[in-house]
Amino acid sequence: MPFAVYLLGLAVFAQGTSEFMLSGLLPGIARDLNVSIPAAGLLTSAFAAGMVVGAPLMAVLSLRWSRRFALLAFLVVFLLAHVVGAVTTGYGVLLVSRAVAALANAGFLAVAMATAISLAPPDAKGRATSVLLGGVTAACVAGVPGGALLGEVWGWRSAFWAVALALVPAIVAVLRSVPAEPHADETHGAPADGGEPAGGGEFSGGGTGGAGRGSSGGARGEFRALRRPRLLVLLLLGALVNGATFCAFTYLAPLLTGVTGIGAAWMPGMLALFGLGSFAGVTISGRFADRRPVPLLVSGGVALAAGWAVFALTAGAPAVAVALVFVQGLLSFAVGSTLISQVLYAATGAPTLAGGFATAALNVGATFGPWLGGLALGSGYGFRAPLWVSAALVGLSLAVAGAARLTSANTGTPAADQVETELRPGAR
C-alpha cells in the first residue's frame, strides 16, 4: 500500500477526532458561550447535516480540480474553521464554523477515497478503504479521549487548536506525496476489455464501462455511472448497517450504567474498547474485502444482527456485555468498511462521486439510527431497546441484500447489476 494512503488516513484521524470530540466538550462550551446544553448539542447536529449534504455537493465541486488541489483546499478550509472556532466568543459563529468544517470534511473524504483507490493496487480497494476508515476508528480510541482530556485541563478551545495543529503535517504530506494530476490509469477495476476488475471478487467487480476521473465525462458522466441499481443497493446497505452501529453506540453508556451496572467511571474505557473493536474490524476487513467480500458480508452480517440481539438479552451480565462491546464494534466496522469498499468497486466510472455518496450514506445512517433508538427509548421500552432496533436494522439489510440477489436471479438481467453473478465466492 503506498505511503500516501496512510498519510490520508492521518488526515481522516484528525477530522474524525473533530467530529466526535464535542461529546466531551459540550458542558464547557455551554458555560463559556452562555448557552444551554441542548443548544450546544446543535453543534453536533450542524456537523452531521453538513456531512450529509456536503458529501455529494463537494464531490461534484471537486471534479473541476486536480485531486491534490482538492485535498489541500478542503484541509485548509477545515483547519481555518477550527481556528475560527477556537477564537470566537459567539455561539452563532461557532455553529457556522462547524457546518463549514463538515462541508470540508465531507469533500475531503470523497476525494480521499477516490485518491486512495487510484494510488492503491487495482485489487486493493478494500485495503485502501480500511486504511481511511482506520483513521476514524483511531479517532474513537485515542483522539476523542485526548480531546476530552485537553478540554478538562486547558478548556474546550485547546481541543480545537489541537485539531488544527494535527492537520499541518497532513497538509504537508499531501503536498509531498499526492500527485498533482490524476493518474492516467485511474480506471482501476475497469479493464479495457470490459471484463471484471482485477480485484473484483464477489460483491465487487462489474466494470461500469466508464473511466476514472480523467475520462468519465465530468459530473454528468459520473452521475450516469451512479445510476446502477447494485450501487444504490450497496449505499442503502451501508446506511442501514451504520444506522445500527450508531443507534447502539449512542446509547451505550446509559445501557452499561443503568442495565449492566458498570460504574460511570468505566465509561471512557468502555467507549475506547468499542473503538478498539472497530479498529480491529476495519483491519480485518482490509485483509479479506478485496478477495472474499461476500463471505465476510454474509457471515459478518448474520453475526452482527445476532450479536445485537444477544447483547439486548444479556445486557445485565457484565462479563458478557464487556465482551460484546468489543465484538460488536469489530463486526460493525468490518461489515461497514467492506460495504464501502464494494461501493467503490461498483462505481469505477464515478470514483469521486461514489466516495461522496458513500460518505453521505454513512452519515444518513449515523443520523437516523440514533433517532430510531431515541424513539424506542421514548416509548418506554428501556435502555435495551436501541439494541433491538440495531438488530432489526441489520436484519433489514440482510433482507434487502437477499431480495436484490433474488431479483437478479429471476430476471437474469443486469437490473441488479449482476448481484447474483458477483455474489459467487471467489469470482475473480
Residue 110 has pLDDT above 60, yes or no: yes
The terminus-to-terminus CA distance of the chain in angstroms comes to 20
Distance between CA 89 and CA 69 in Å, rounded?
32
| pLDDT range class, residue 244, cuts 50, 70, 90 | very high
Task: Find, among 132, 190, 38, the residue nearest to 355 by Cα.
Answer: 132
Amino acid letter for position 213:
R
Whether residue 415 is predicted with pLDDT greater than 50 in this model: the reply is no
Contact 147, 162 (CB under 8 A): yes
Read out DSSP for 152-182?
HHH-HHHHHHHHHHHHHHHHHHHHHHS-SS-
Q: What is the pTM of this model?
A: 0.72
Read off the pLDDT of residues 289-345 as tens digits, 9 standing for 90 and up.
Answer: 767 888 889 999 999 999 999 999 999 999 999 999 999 999 998 998 888 878 877
Confidence label for 188 from pLDDT (cuts 50, 70 and 90): very low
Q: Which residues contact 407 (CB under 8 A, 6 or more apart)?
A: 415, 416, 419
Q: Identify residue 339 by its one-letter amino acid code.
A: L
Q: How far apart are CA 244 and CA 383, in angstroms?
A: 15
Q: Are 83 and 171 in contact (CB under 8 A)?
A: no
- Cα(399)–Cα(236) distance, integer angstroms: 12
Residue 209, pLDDT > 70, answer no
| Contact status, residue 45 vs residue 191, Cβ threshold 8 Å | no
> Which of 237, 242, 226 lies closest to 357 in space, CA to CA?
226
Looking at residue 417, what is its pLDDT? 44
Q: Give the pLDDT confidence of 11-50 residue by residue, as tens digits.
A: 888 888 887 777 667 778 888 988 886 677 778 778 877 8
pLDDT digits (tens, 9 = 90+) for 391-403: 999 999 999 999 9
In the predicted model, what is the mean pLDDT of residues 66-79? Answer: 90
Q: Whose CA is closest to 131, among 260, 244, 290, 20?
A: 290
C-alpha cell, 354: 461514489
What does the angle CA 261 – CA 325 – CA 330 come to, to the nearest 5 degrees?
Answer: 180
